[in-house]
Amino acid sequence: MLMQIQENISLRPYNTFGMDAKARYFAAFSSADELLGLNDRISVTGNLPVMILGGGSNILLTKDQEGWVLKNEIRGVQLLHEDPDHIYVRAGAGESWHGLVMYCIERNWAGIENLALIPGCVGAAPMQNIGAYGVELKDVFHSLEALDTKKRSVVTFTLSDCAFGYRDSFFKHSEPGRYVILSVTLKLSKHPVFHVSYGAIKEELEKAGVKAYSIKAIADAVIRIRSSKLPDPAVTGNAGSFFKNPSIPATQFEVLKTAYPEVSGYPAADGTVKVAAGWLIEHSGPDENISWKGYRVGDAGVHPRQALVLVNYGKANGEAIAALASAIQSSVFLKYNIKLEKEVNFY
Ligand SMILES: Cc1cc2nc3c(=O)[nH]c(=O)nc-3n(C[C@H](O)[C@H](O)[C@H](O)COP(=O)(O)OP(=O)(O)OC[C@H]3O[C@@H](n4cnc5c(N)ncnc54)[C@H](O)[C@@H]3O)c2cc1C
């Protein structure tokens, strides 16, 4: 099948930051065969870079894209198998993640209710092992299929192959563009275990008068909390948390806690402590008397309610957001000797 290839198009509708960068070549694919067909066309244009795009909710476009942007539109959700305790469900990489969460909740398949309302597509979820409210993708992940564009073959990755970590996976470190995720299979549960102790879920359930927990009630609570706390990209451009919560040695955390008793940290099994990046950003700034929280330079800013979220108020470009991010990293490092790592992928 001949796929439509567009040239020099604006990527504005395709990224939640609303960056008006251009793509030299743009095409969508809805199967592995179509992707292989595109790869043949790509080889004709020489060694241009290839970017795989899902919902564009975890990227910052800092410039026009000189190469190819390929939008994954592989659809379909299938129940593969079930046993007395589990459901194995496979979803095409181009399915909406939140749509999949809702689909599973309707069928009472438990495990991803805490991950409701995370923007983007199924295929990007393993990239950074998406997580929220005490649950990560890896907790329900069974396997995925990816096209190895170098060998032109479909490869299955199991849980251990993916090397999931905190907002991290094998794919974040592999050759850019080499593996294109085609589908993801989740192992969901017929016997829900409710994770309500993280964030304000319990309080939200109480507020709503929920006495008996259900996965639907939890997803509804998560949706309400997220809608009240996070800026809606349809209104204000953003890509969610811009930085990861940094892990520091326990000894360094003790020193930090002595100086700033209100700082919160979460001890990890490896002896490090995860520090809330939002706190570090809120309690530092462009100068001693100003906090980054709510700071704005032109149309680039730090959200007034969520210091971890950088926003585009309209006409900021990727360079402006990147410059703000780098100023934040420098000031946090200067004040606390802690390096903030980006969660958002730069292109
Ligand atoms: C308001 C808001 C809230 C958010 N909250 C959370 C949250 O709570 N938890 C969380 O973890 N994230 C959160 N995010 C970040 C984001 O939603 C997730 O990272 C999501 O998984 C990105 O999906 P996407 O389809 O938009 O990916 P994109 O932004 O399109 O792509 C992200 C990266 O994955 C690669 N990629 C995409 N699809 C494929 C594929 N099929 N094969 C290979 N590579 C691929 C891209 O090349 C890119 O490097 C939030 C974002 C926003 C805007």
> What CATH number is given to the structural domain containing 133?
3.30.465.10
Give the domain range for residue 257.
Answer: 237-346
Residue where a domain terminates, one of 229, 259, 278: 229
pLDDT of residue 331: 97
- pLDDT under 50: residue ranges of the chain: none
132 lines ligand 1 (CB under 6 A): yes
Closest ligand 1 atom to residue 123 Cα is 41
CA 197 to chain centre: 22
Q: Whose CA is nearest to atom 12 of ligand 1?
A: 130
pLDDT of residue 44: 87
Residue where a domain terminates, one of 229, 249, 283: 229
pLDDT of residue 199: 77
Cβ pair 256, 248 in contact under 8 A: yes
Residue where a domain terminates, one of 203, 229, 255: 229
The conformation of residue 231, written as its DSSP 8-state character, comes to -
Tens-digit pLDDT profile for residues 275-299: 999 999 999 999 989 999 999 999 9
pLDDT of residue 51: 96
pLDDT of residue 2: 60
Length of the chain counted residue by residue = 347
The DSSP secondary structure of 287-299, one letter per residue, reads STT--STT-EETT
pLDDT of residue 176: 87
Position 1 in a domain = no
Cβ pair 341, 247 in contact under 8 A: no
Measured in angstroms, how far is the CA atom of residue 58 from the centroid of ligand 1? 4
Q: Which of 95, 145, 204, 343 is catalytic?
A: 343
**Closest to 305 (Cα-Cα) out of 192, 252, 228:** 228
For residues 323 and 300, give the distance between their C-alpha atoms in angstroms, rounded to a whole number. 9
Query: Is 241 a known active-site residue?
Result: yes
Question: What are the φ and ψ backbone dihedral angles of 163, each rounded to 5 degrees?
Answer: 45, 55
Tens-digit pLDDT profile for residues 136-155: 999 999 999 999 999 999 99
> What CATH number is given to the structural domain containing 54?
3.30.43.10
Tens-digit pLDDT profile for residues 30-60: 999 999 999 988 988 888 999 999 999 999 9
Looking up tokens 């060998």 gives 151
pLDDT of residue 3: 73
Are 16 and 86 found together in one domain? no
